[in-house]
Chain A
């Protein structure tokens, strides 16, 4: 290989690593600022009606326009996204805990494993939205109900992955050898298994966010989710339905787009973190 080729390679090499880190950094920064802005915005001031300014199309003053009560849509969207992230975070934590517990449980013995698989299949077989609505109602609706509903229904894919992964590691020959060296089950779990599945867990959690957020928005839109006074994206979208026919397209367009953007950001972070933690998958 010639000198110039080598240099070229070096440059590309740096590029990919930095690119991945850069994407993660920027995406995280955007999400973080959306979340923090929620605490900096004066809610009452933003959400108070202002009838001088109703139904204005997007302008430099009001980027996303205003609604039928004269509220700034940009601010409402921002608050809505904040709520989405909040719901997503809580729900992901609940789901992850369930997934880890079931994953670890399944490695106890074959009977428990069968049971865990059955539970996973059972939850997987019920239509998602229906289940979320039912659980949400069972917990009495509201913010609490939505978080619980989304949290209790999103663990299936991660639990499945963790179960398979733990199974794979458990049957590997280095684990068997470890037992021959007289290592205890706890020692093996701590030193061998946990470090190997931690990356799966991290990626699983991040990729759970977009699902949780979308589902929260869907059931809020359908009216089973967050109460009408919360500035959630689902609520905004469902309210705007009434005004769309009058040509106030910006009421739905921008919040919807923002939600999509948010979801894509999480996907982007998840994929890139995955690349960092599991370089084999990054082979061109």
Chain B
């Protein structure tokens, strides 16, 4: 079993503290929903867990080990998939930057081969988000942090991408931390809801 742990994590700009003494732990068989109001530091936490922000206090570990270069076993999926894709790359290159999934997983996500030849600007938000989820599901990934990944999508697409993501994550024992301002969604999907205010000072 893999365990992701955040211990005594604090972060802020100067005197302005965004996160204060955060402690959190989950394992790779869990789907946990993290709830927080907007502006409460949810996105900052996501970036700290996944190594996008490095100058924080405290420690983030997977099985007791800090991430130190190479492939990060904790991967972040963003609210805006178009921001994490090089606009001049075709989708095949975008996907292959992480890995090339087999036919079965591509079908699970409803990804069509013809999309591979397109640029990010030629796909809809839902289609792009499928790609960015798939990239994060690289076999080396142990935990996925999903930061409001369906907020910008319509309800139908929201169901689709969560169904696919959770199916593949469960099959491969990937832990999912779903971060959202939507309690209804968290209640529907996750095993457990955690309030950000409960795990910080």
Contact = CB atoms under 8 A, between A and B. Distances in A.
A and B touch in the complex (CB under 8 A): yes
Interface of A: 172-174, 176-183, 192, 195-196
User: Lowest 10 CB-CB distances: which A-B pairs, in order?
Assistant: A182-B71, A182-B70, A180-B72, A173-B83, A177-B84, A174-B84, A173-B84, A174-B86, A181-B98, A176-B52
Contacts, number: 36
Interface in B72-100: 72, 75-76, 78, 83-86, 88, 97-98
B50 A180 contact: yes
Contacts of A182: 69-72
A278 to B, nearest CB: 11
B52 to A, nearest CB: 5
Contacts of A173: 52, 78, 83-84
B85 A174 contact: yes
Interface in B137-166: 138
The binding surface of chain B is classed by DSSP as loop
Contacts of A176: 52
Interface residues of B, number: 19
B83 A172 contact: yes
Nearest to A193: B86
Nearest to B70: A182
A98 to B, nearest CB: 26
Interface of B: 50-52, 69-72, 75-76, 78, 83-86, 88, 97-98, 135, 138
Contacts of B97: 178, 181, 183
A161 B154 CA distance: 40
Contacts of B50: 180
Contacts of A196: 86, 88
A255 B34 CA distance: 74
Contact of A180 (B76, B85, B86): B76
A199 to B, nearest CB: 9
Name, among A178, A180, A192, A195, the residue most crowded by chain B CB atoms within 10 Å (CB to CB): A180
Given A172-B83, A196-B86, 9 more contacts: A173-B83, A173-B84, A174-B85, A177-B84, A178-B97, A180-B50, A182-B69, A192-B86, A196-B88
A180 B51 contact: yes
Contacts of A174: 83-86
Contacts of A181: 71-72, 97-98, 135, 138
A192 B69 CA distance: 19
Contact of B88 (A180, A183, A195): A195
16 contacts: A173-B52, A173-B83, A173-B84, A174-B83, A174-B86, A177-B76, A177-B84, A178-B97, A180-B51, A180-B72, A180-B75, A180-B76, A181-B97, A181-B98, A181-B135, A182-B72
B137 to A, nearest CB: 12
A172 B51 CA distance: 15
A205 B101 CA distance: 42
A180 B52 contact: yes
A176 B86 CA distance: 11
A279 B72 CA distance: 36
A232 B85 CA distance: 50
